[in-house]
Chains A and B, each alone.
Chain A
């Protein structure tokens, strides 16, 4: 039941501290005034972000720059501990996230895209890294993401969790990731034989212990 723009404005109480906090974070940034001003300028830089034409043509919600930020984040969050897992690129994680972002309602989408620009330009500064997130090496990117994940500012942690949720959705939806975790996937589409035993398997196993 989201609200149409045409609906009359509602008289509301003043925003709570949480509301103000979220707005401040999502609309202005994370740093102090000076850093914010710099971040606001940098956030609109679009040069130096090129993706292959074929990729650019498939993007729905993300710009080339935003796509590259997402791809970089996904590559670090989804960097596995072994070769038996596919890479984030192999499962097209960033392209999937583009499709998900396209489905997000416009207001939340705007917030999410602002977060990507902040992550690219401002959050690295916050964690003592000069330069864009996408230009940092892997260790530098991990340090920035770790700083977000452990930030004393709750909203920054929440933003990290939102990004991580998108990444793991983009990744573990892919059947190629299931073998290494022992998951056998959906039942629909499989032969029905044996299904009715599923519910009792656990109980039988327990009784056997």
Chain B
């Protein structure tokens, strides 16, 4: 086995096989970190990624070309009832290719809850702090300087300051190559993101890992409680089979996201005596709130998300404030999909495009959704419960107040029928009932849970070390691990837990960490 990146679309048609110590299924934040760590410990690693390997030169900044390439189901993945758009990444680097580089640690309140409610006694803030720091150093995480705050974010800052709300500038993982083009969600053409593809995959390969892209993992097979092999289909990049790949390994790390990993576990009929696979899905459902300003904002220019508002975010269990507010801007296709209505009314709104500032009110959700399979198709069952609808309403009110305080002439909440706010009194329209499925338009970008960590096998899938409760050669290294929502951007948490789990694998296989 030699270190390299092999693209399914370029390989000769036919069947292949590999043998290694650890096979990693998924090349996003968690999979890339695990592959790097495992390979650096001297283990033979094969990483399988369903999507392609995207070069920065191929990021055209066009929505019609990049969204289908960088997102699952061409960017059209929705919950079972079609009510919530669920965006998750596809391709080497996963969601770190299209995310906006937000970096926050998992909050101490969340870790305390994991300890108290899920028995994760080793995941304390103190125990994870060195790992968080290691990840942040690796990714060169720094706070965005004020000089790089774009117009839309500056408007949000103004609103927060005028209201006396709590908020601040965010930390990111990007470097001087970032020119602030504003096209982060379509992939960075300037390679300014210090993401999994740019940093971790090259290090994994340099340490000896073999990476396959266009390699769709169909299932893994288990024999007498041990991993037998992993079966994948090598594709042409458009889903058409060109061959098969069989990988024999001592251990497997699932890293296909909270949706993909759960689906793979279900397809593979992973031992699941308590029917836990796929349960506990959280997604941070978000409602958009859009302010119309007299001045031109051109919100698509500059770093899209550099400030946040935490006034309505208290992460302690039982809190009645569970909303994180961040700027959220879309290029024209995304914006038009969000605007309610069609025909002339749609175009009247789009004429104001350069005067819009959008905020997202994202809920630290308590709703537990579920990933299942239906004739092999992935189904996402998720309907915000009453408490989370109330939080969406609370968040929309907060976002609307920020925009009005910043000087918005009018605030819209994309919903059917549309909600328009021109005064404080109009905020009363933002009732929880307006956030029922299919009323307000909801989007989710942070799938979590589904293969949860926990000390009790009856309520979890893997233990605190990320290892399956009964199939001891299976580990989880992605956001599936989270037993609850985390109420913030997940990439640092995923990188960190993947690093921790990878070290458990190294220990279990008798290797030594780099």
Chain B residues with CB under 8 A of A186:
60-62, 183
Contact B296 A79 (CB under 8 A): no
Contact B346 A77 (CB under 8 A): yes
Contact B179 A206 (CB under 8 A): no
A 64-86 to B, binary, CB cutoff 8 A, 1 in contact else 0: 00000000000011111110010
Q: Does B344 contact A (CB under 8 A)?
A: yes
Q: Does B448 contact A (CB under 8 A)?
A: no
State the CA gap A66–B275 with chains docked (Å): 42
> Chain B's nearest CB lies how many Å from the CB of A21?
7
Q: Does B321 contact A (CB under 8 A)?
A: no
Residues of chain A from 84 to 98 with CB closer than 8 A to chain B in the complex: 85, 96
Q: Does A127 contact B (CB under 8 A)?
A: no
Which single residue of chain B is at the shortest CB-CB distance from A159? B82
Contact B351 A181 (CB under 8 A): yes
Contact A10 B332 (CB under 8 A): no
Chain B residues with CB under 8 A of A8:
219, 269
Contact B80 A149 (CB under 8 A): no
State the CA gap A142–B218 with chains docked (Å): 43
> Chain B's nearest CB lies how many Å from the CB of A190?
10
Contact A157 B149 (CB under 8 A): no
How many A residues touch B, CB cutoff 8 Å? 73
> Chain B's nearest CB lies how many Å from the CB of A16?
5
Known interface pairs A79-B344, A181-B353; A3-B267 also in contact (CB < 8 Å) = yes
Q: Does A55 contact B (CB under 8 A)?
A: no
Chain B residues with CB under 8 A of A170:
64
Known interface pairs A1-B256, A1-B263, A103-B238; A181-B350 also in contact (CB < 8 Å) = yes
Contact A22 B80 (CB under 8 A): yes
A 1-13 to B, binary, CB cutoff 8 A, 1 in contact else 0: 1111111101111
> Chain A's nearest CB lies how many Å from the CB of B258?
12
> Chain B's nearest CB lies how many Å from the CB of A145?
6
Chain B residues with CB under 8 A of A203:
146-151, 154
Contact B74 A100 (CB under 8 A): yes
- B148 contact from A77, A169, A200, Cβ within 8 A: A200
Known interface pairs A7-B219, A182-B296, A187-B181; A168-B438 also in contact (CB < 8 Å) = no
Chain B residues with CB under 8 A of A19:
80, 372, 374, 379, 381
Contact A10 B373 (CB under 8 A): yes
- B353 contact from A183, A205, A206, Cβ within 8 A: A183
Q: Does A154 contact B (CB under 8 A)?
A: yes
State the CA gap A71–B435 with chains docked (Å): 32
A 131-171 to B, binary, CB cutoff 8 A, 1 in contact else 0: 00000000000100100011000110111011011011111
State the CA gap A187–B302 with chains docked (Å): 12
Chain A residues with CB under 8 A of B202:
none
State the CA gap A4–B76 with chains docked (Å): 20
Chain A residues with CB under 8 A of B337:
161, 164-165, 168-169
Which single residue of chain B is at the shortest CB-CB distance from A3? B376
Chain A residues with CB under 8 A of B233:
4
Which single residue of chain B is at the shortest CB-CB distance from A157? B438
> Chain A's nearest CB lies how many Å from the CB of B58?
10
Q: Does A201 contact B (CB under 8 A)?
A: yes
Contact A2 B238 (CB under 8 A): no
> Chain A's nearest CB lies how many Å from the CB of B333?
5
> Chain B's nearest CB lies how many Å from the CB of A27?
12
Residues of chain B from 141 to 181 with CB closer than 8 A to chain A in the complex: 146-155, 157-158, 178-181
Q: Does A173 contact B (CB under 8 A)?
A: yes
Which single residue of chain A is at the shortest CB-CB distance from B353? A181
Contact A154 B76 (CB under 8 A): no
A 103-117 to B, binary, CB cutoff 8 A, 1 in contact else 0: 111011000000000
Contact A100 B68 (CB under 8 A): yes
B 261-289 to A, binary, CB cutoff 8 A, 1 in contact else 0: 00110110100000100000000000000
Known interface pairs A1-B260, A1-B263, A198-B179; A103-B68 also in contact (CB < 8 Å) = yes
Contact A18 B381 (CB under 8 A): yes
9 contacts between A and B (CB under 8 A): A3-B377, A8-B219, A104-B76, A108-B73, A145-B342, A149-B342, A199-B147, A199-B180, A203-B146
> Which residues does B use to contact A, with CB under 8 Å?
25, 50, 59-64, 67-68, 73-74, 76, 78-83, 146-155, 157-158, 178-183, 189, 216-219, 233, 238-239, 241, 256, 260, 263-264, 266-267, 269, 275, 295-298, 300-303, 331-333, 336-337, 341-348, 350-351, 353-354, 370, 372-379, 381, 383, 416-417, 437-438, 441
> Which residues does A use to contact B, with CB under 8 Å?
1-8, 10-13, 15-16, 18-19, 21-22, 76-82, 85, 96, 100, 103-105, 107-108, 142, 145, 149-150, 154-155, 157-159, 161-162, 164-165, 167-173, 177-178, 180-183, 185-188, 195-196, 198-203, 205-206
